[in-house]
Amino acid sequence: MSSVVSAFNLSLSYNNSENDIIQNATFDIKKGEFVFITGLSGSGKSTLLKALYGELIPKEGELVVGGLNLNSIEKKKLQELRRHLGIIFQDYKLINEWSVEKNVVLPLIIDGYSKDIQKTQSTRLLKHVKLSEYAEKLPLELSGGEQQRVGVARALSKNPFLILADEPTGNLDEYSSNVIWDLMETSCEQLQTTVIVVTHKIPTIFSIPYRHLIIENREVYEIH
């Protein structure tokens, strides 16, 4: 199977400082794989995720996502890559002035899809995340769990080849957490979407096979 993410001797640091957050990481993630990245707080999990969507340029080594080398990627190419990613944040990162419906189809708006397609997709996805009745509401009128479900719906709206999730269920109630894990499992299993989830704790009930990478002392290991 083809590689979706490939890191070789990857080192990451902020502002090119001496203090590496990740050092010499080498790993390879294939299409359709579900990968958990765990580690202690401050171990560099979110930093690694930022590098995966091009928010942080690698200091050393090589990082390839979707066939594009992120060490020297052009701005336009990076924008194009991001349009094919589904990103989920712990703090949801929804646009508070926009309705739930509009937030869900943000990736379609960016890609210039017609209003009809946007409407069809938002209706389908909101039904999927069990938020159909909240379509017209603003994000701040929703609970944390509901906002995160909107975030997941947004991440899925364009059938991305790669979903990156940063602590997607941190601080969420059990019901919302289960809905979110279920959606990601389904997406991985049925659509062969690669899913990388950064979390401090792997859910106890998880029905599909997954890989587990752990960050410890700035290095990335795989647990078999």
Partner 1 sequence: MKFIKNHLTFIFPLMAILIGIEFFLVFERTTISYEDGLRDKYSMLVVVHDEIDLESIQNLNPHIFSIDLIKKDAIVDEISKGLKESSKKNLSKLLPYFYNVKLDTYFDIKQIDKIKADLEKSPIVKSVETFDNSHDSNYKLFIFLKFIFKIFISFIAVVSFFLIIKQMEIWSLVHKQRMKVMEIFGAPLLLRSAVMYRIAIVDSIISTIIISLFFVHLKYNWVDSSGIDILVHNRDLIFEFNDLFKMLGISLLIVISSVSMVISRLKDDN
Residue 183 amino acid letter: L
Query: Considering only 85-93, 129-137, 182-190, 195-203, which stretch makes contact with partner 1 by CB under 8 A?
Result: 85-93
Dist. CA 26–CA 222, nearest whole Å: 10
| Closer of 95 and 208 to partner 1 (Cβ) | 95
Q: Which is nearer to partner 1, 97 or 173 (CB)?
A: 97
DSSP characters for 142-206?
S-HHHHHHHHHHHHHTT--SEEEEESTTTT--HHHHHHHHHHHHHHHHHH--EEEEE-SS--S--
State both tokens at 136. 């017209």
**Cβ pair 53, 80 in contact under 8 A:** no
Considering the rule CB under 8 A, would residue 142 count as an interface residue with partner 1?
A: no
- Phi/psi of residue 212, each to 5°? -130, 115
User: Which residues ranging from 88 to 107 are in contact with partner 1 (CB under 8 A)?
Assistant: 93-98, 106-107
Please identify, using beta-carbon distances, which residue of 36 and 92 lies nearer to partner 1.
92
Query: Closest approach of Cβ 212 to partner 1, in Å?
Result: 26
Size of the site for partner 1 (CB under 8 A): 20
Contact between 2 and 180 (Cβ < 8 Å):
no
3-state helix, strand, coil in the chain (%, to 5): 35, 25, 40
Instruction: Name the minimum Å distance from CB 158 to partner 1.
Output: 9
Q: Which stretch binds partner 1 (CB under 8 A): 11-19, 80-88, 127-135, 178-186?
A: 80-88
**Closer residue to partner 1 (CB): 85 or 220:** 85
83 binds partner 1 (CB under 8 A): yes
Note the residues at the interface with partner 1 (CB under 8 A).
Answer: 53, 55, 76, 78-83, 85, 87, 93-98, 106-107, 110
